[in-house]
């Protein structure tokens, strides 16, 4: 299994519910449990500004480069602007591109980062500066390595930026399964949106996800992007669903197994995760990597 990761993902954004330390902790967890022995780690390079410009508007990118975001734009982003923050997110976006390439070459890859699905073409919001998955879709298309993609977004929050970016693109199938009564307030339609009630648990979640997944894979994608958010977890600070550790692992196995059976390569990004206990977030993300290794071996 190819794992994309950089120690530089630990960006200093002050005291924040988004613990950028989680990425390194996931790697350490995998090392301690022996799973890292089955992986090779790829160090990414930052996404170029030209890569970003395939998705994001020049005005927005210029504001980020020069530190010219308005106070409203910074407030909407919900992370403080700094040159280091911008570089950190540019690197993480490069990580998703690298993981997407590795998945196309080897059938599967995991990015220990990414999943910034709230970033729109012309602005960032909700801790998401660049829409890394959209940038990776366009990078691989520009390289002629991708025609159709499916984006399976299992973060507890709706993938609003991704849905808006690909709203008029018939070759990108967007699926979002999320808590209905949660951020973002306005949810631009994905191809399939599954709006779940507060407190939805493992069984209903998996029953609702399975047929939608079949439909996404039925669109004959060349690559599936799986946003394996840890925040549908019952003890998440920003989520109101009730999945257990075991339920989240079954979700991962469902998505990864379905893609493997359909012989579609998968690239995993971690997306959100804000459990009250940071170690729970780390355990959930590490379990996703383990399930990806198992699914890849079953190919």
> What's the CA gap between 195 and 180, in Å, rounded?
5
Pairing of strands 192-196, 172-179: parallel
Residue 3 CA to residue 286 CA, distance in Å, equals: 12
78: left (phi over 0), alpha (psi -120 to 50) or beta: left
Q: Which is nearer to Zn ion, 230 or 296 (CB)?
A: 230
Number of chain positions touching Zn ion (CB under 5 A): 4
Residues paired with residue 149 on neighbouring β-strands, in sequence order: 172, 223
Q: How many CA atoms lie within 13 A of 114 on its CB side?
A: 36
If DSSP codes are grouped into helix, strand and coil, which group holds residue 298? coil
Q: Which range in 86-94, 98-106, 226-234, 257-265 contacts Zn ion by CB under 5 A?
A: 226-234
Q: Minimum CB separation from Zn ion for residue 236, in Å?
A: 8
Q: How far apart, in whole angstroms, are the C-alpha atoms of residue 31 and residue 285?
A: 13
Of 61 and 243, the one with the shorter C-beta distance to Zn ion is 243
C-beta of 128 vs 213, nearer to Zn ion: 128
Which lies closer to Zn ion via its Cβ, residue 153 or residue 202? 153
Q: Which is nearer to Zn ion, 85 or 281 (CB)?
A: 281
Site for Zn ion in 158-177 (CB under 5 A): none
Residue closest to Zn ion, measured at CB: 272
Contact between 157 and Zn ion per CB under 5 A:
yes
Q: Is position 272 an interface residue for Zn ion (rule: CB under 5 A)?
A: yes
By CB under 5 A, name the one of 155, 202, 280, 291 that touches Zn ion: 155
Q: Residue 29 interacts with Zn ion (CB under 5 A)?
A: no
Three-state SS at 9: helix
Of 24-32, 197-205, 206-214, 225-233, the window that binds Zn ion (rule: CB under 5 A) is 225-233
Q: At 108, phi and psi to the nearest 5?
A: -165, 150
Q: Quick one: 39 or 119, whose CB is closer to Zn ion?
A: 119
**Pair 265, 103: CB distance under 8 Å:** yes
* Footprint on this chain of Zn ion (rule: CB under 5 A): 155, 157, 231, 272
């Amino acid at each position: 299994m190819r794992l994309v990761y950089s120690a530089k993902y630990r960006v200093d954004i002050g005291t924040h519910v988004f613990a950028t330390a989680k990425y390194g902790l996931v790697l350490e967890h995998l090392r301690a449990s022996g799973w890292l022995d089955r992986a090779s780690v790829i160090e990414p390079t930052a996404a170029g500004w030209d890569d970003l410009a395939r998705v994001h508007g020049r005005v927005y990118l210029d504001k980020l480069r020069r530190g010219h975001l308005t106070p409203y734009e910074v407030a909407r982003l919900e992370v403080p602007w700094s040159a280091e923050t911008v570089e950190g997110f540019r690197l993480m976006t490069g990580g998703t591109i690298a993981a997407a390439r590795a998945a196309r070459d080897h059938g599967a890859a995991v990015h220990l980062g990414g999943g910034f699905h709230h970033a729109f073409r012309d602005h960032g919001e909700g801790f998401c500066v660049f829409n890394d998955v959209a940038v990776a879709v366009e990078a691989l298309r520009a390289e002629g390595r991708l025609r159709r993609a499916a984006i399976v977004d299992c973060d507890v929050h709706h993938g609003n930026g991704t849905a808006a970016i690909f709203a008029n693109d018939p070759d990108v199938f967007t699926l979002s399964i999320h808590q209905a009564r949660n951020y973002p307030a306005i949810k631009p339609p994905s191809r399939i949106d599954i709006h779940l009630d507060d407190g939805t648990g493992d069984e209903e979640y998996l029953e609702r996800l399975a047929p939608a997944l079949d439909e996404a894979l039925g669109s004959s994608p060349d690559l599936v992007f799986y946003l394996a958010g840890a925040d549908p977890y019952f003890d998440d600070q920003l989520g109101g669903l009730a999945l257990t550790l075991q339920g989240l692992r079954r979700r991962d196995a469902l998505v990864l197994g379905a893609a493997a059976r359909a012989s579609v390569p998968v690239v995993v990004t971690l997306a959100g995760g804000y459990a009250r206990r940071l170690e729970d977030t780390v355990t959930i993300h590490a379990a996703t990597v383990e399930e990806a290794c198992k699914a890849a071996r079953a190919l």
